[in-house]
Amino acid sequence: MNRRDFMSKTTLGALTVAVGAPVVYGHLMPNGYKPLALQDPDPFSLFKKDKEMKVLNDRPWNIEARAHLLNDKITPNHSMFIRNNGLLPENIDIKQWTLTIDGESVTEQKTYTLDELKTRFKHHTYQLTLECAGNGRKEFNPPAKGNQWGLGAVHCCEWTGIRLRDVLDEVGINDAAVYIGYHAADIHLSRDPGKEPISRGVPMAKAYQEETLLAFQMNGEDIPMAHGYPLRLIAGGWPASASGKWINRISVRNQVHDGTKMTGKAYRVPCKPVAPGSEVKDEDMCIIESMPVKSLITYPRSGAILKSGQQLNINGHAWAGELEVSKMEYSIDFGATWKACDLEKPVNRLAWQHFSASVSFPEVGYYEVWARATDSKGRSQPMLLPGWNPKGYLNNACHRIAVKVS
Amino acid sequence: MKNEEHFIEQVKVIYRSLLWFCIVCFGLGFLILLIHFNPDLIKEEPTITAIEEEVSSDITETIRDSIHADTGLIKADGLTEVINNCTNCHSAKIIIQNRMTRENWLMSIRWMQETQNLWDLGENENIILDYLATHYAPKEKGRRENLIVEEWYVLEKGQ
């Protein structure tokens, strides 16, 4: 008997004891539903995460970084956020793992083993920024539904894999192709095998970009389990949910993909701006594509106390979805005046860029250092929250840290 | 000689008694202090069955006492129904993170029923909605809140 069987047999009984009352409406609860939070293993050792990472949810796992944990130029696994929509896949056997390309718009359905993918196609490596569309949701007012991400749901790792377009070209797709949609091995929270926790995708133009990969390595090693082992679609600069983890099938669709979390309000914002708290009909919601310009001060951590006259060296990263960041500034007077930061070029398209500056303070007191990035089209980060939307996506308001000079 | 021995013997007895007395006093003092700072030590292990009686009264007494340890949910009427129906698929953490009006809680439930296999909640629906709308209601936070600094620290020069 494995652990799960044992638990399912004992849990309902245990629950009745624990709650001190029979499970009312238990008969409406389909078989296999086990109330009661069972003690989950320690996520920090399970996923090799920094102890300072913040666990938002343990079932499914949703864990975010803090700004200062993201100081590395290439994000190490221990500082990468986890956004899972379902339960982790079970019993992954990489010898048996296959990727099927199917859908209305393929000439003929084709299945590859992992080995075939790795040996038949050329390998490419890129640093790619992935940010959860809901990063910063916590700040929206009125509050938006879902995990209340602060600012740590972003990373830029080095991904190695093959180009999705090389595979699509070999399979053969027709002119009617509009969108690709991924399917994966994760398990729906209700354990219903007929349901997918998430199945999103991108339009053909994004699927055909050079940097859009079927990745099997991250930072030079096998992709960690929580981040999509053994195969992950990577579409940098777009909501990270477009970069499907544990993928085993890609459908080439002759319509916008309609998988789980492509429709309704998921990963969509109102097509036209709305007042905070408005009710928005599903048909008035549009799919998020490129993420907006944004930046993070990753050094020092908020709360530094300096001596009068002491210079403060700050650094961090800036990114702009499909675009490049062309200007980076900081302010110590709440935006009244801005000064330029040094800004590096991206290592490759869709990689975040590094900035630094040396800040001096005119007198003792409480300060906030605000950072503001501007993209290549001249759009800057707002200082207040950007447009409210029902699910709280795309908060790219300026990051700030507190400093005291004494 | 005999007298002297007897005297020494008596002194020893008094000495030992005093020593024991001191140890006992010291121990008692220590215990009282411990209990003073840690009143839980003498309280009975709280059981979950107690929730229902205890809770209806005043949930704002102290935050710690009003939180259900296993789930982190606020102890109040409806807790049992919420645990039974809302912690099966995901943990209670997704509920605790959220703040919604009654209407929006209902919309979330309908969304889970339409798309995520959540079952019909029967007459528990109202109990659950009352609980959620009361204890997890939105609060006004403006367009940008003040920064909260978790910990102030001295940043040395050249660091």
The model's pLDDT over A2-34, given as tens digits with 9 standing for 90+, comes to 334 333 333 443 444 344 444 444 445 544 444
The confidence score (pLDDT) of residue B157 equals: 83
Position B50 scores a pLDDT of 31
Instruction: Give the end-to-end CA distance of chain B in Å, rounded to a whole number.
Output: 78
Helix (H) or strand (E) holding A358: strand A353-359
Tell me the percentage of chain A whose pLDDT exceeds 90: 89
User: What is the reported pLDDT for A41?
Assistant: 72
The pLDDT-based confidence of A290 (bands split at 50, 70, 90) is very high
CB contacts, 8 Å: A312 with chain B: 155
Confidence of residue B10 (pLDDT cuts 50, 70, 90): confident
- Take residue A66 and report the two structure tokens written for it: 């803090």
A12: chain B residues, CB-CB within 8 Å = none
Report the residue from B80, B94, B149 with minimal CB separation from A402: B149
pLDDT > 90 in chain B, percent: 54
Q: What is the mean pLDDT of chain B?
A: 78
The reply to whether residue A28 touches residue B120, judged by beta carbons under 8 angstroms, is: yes
Residues A241 and A260: their CA atoms lie apart, in Å, by 11
**Among the partner residues A23, A306, A368, nearest to B155 by beta-carbon distance:** A306
Please tell me the predicted confidence (pLDDT) of residue A186.
96
> In this structure, what token pair is assigned to residue A378?
């001249």
Contact residues on chain B for A268, CB-CB shorter than 8 A: none
Residue A35 pLDDT greater than 50, yes or no: no
Query: What is the structure's pLDDT at B48?
Result: 35
Cβ contact B83–A19 (<8 Å): yes
Banded pLDDT at A362 (limits 50, 70, 90)? very high
Q: What are phi and psi of A90, to 5 degrees?
A: -110, 150
| Whole-angstrom distance, CA of residue A346 vs CA of residue A288 | 23
Size of interface A-B (CB pairs under 8 A): 143
Contact A190 B116 (CB under 8 A): yes
- Residues in chain B closer than 8 A to A192 (CB atoms): 117
Q: If we measure between CA atoms, which residue out of B68, B122, B136, B59 comes closest to residue A20? A: B68
Q: Is B140 close to A195, i.e. CB distance below 8 A?
A: no
- Rounded to 10 deg, the angle between the B79-86 and B124-135 helix axes is 110
DSSP string, B44-104: PPP-TTHHHHHHTS-TTS-TGGGB-TTT-PBPSTTHHHHHHHHSSSS-THHHHH----HHH
pLDDT (mean) for A187-192: 95
Closest CA to A277 of B137, B100, B145, B109: B100
Q: Is B137 left (phi over 0), alpha (psi -120 to 50) or beta?
A: beta
Distance (Å, rounded) from C-alpha A45 to C-alpha B65?
30
Query: Which among B90, B108, B152 has CB closest to A145?
Result: B108
Q: CA-nearest residue of chain B to A150?
A: B97
Name chain A contacts of B45, Cβ cutoff 8 Å.
Answer: none
Of A28, A142, A147, nearest to B97 by CB-CB distance is A147
Residues of A in contact with B145 (CB under 8 A): 139
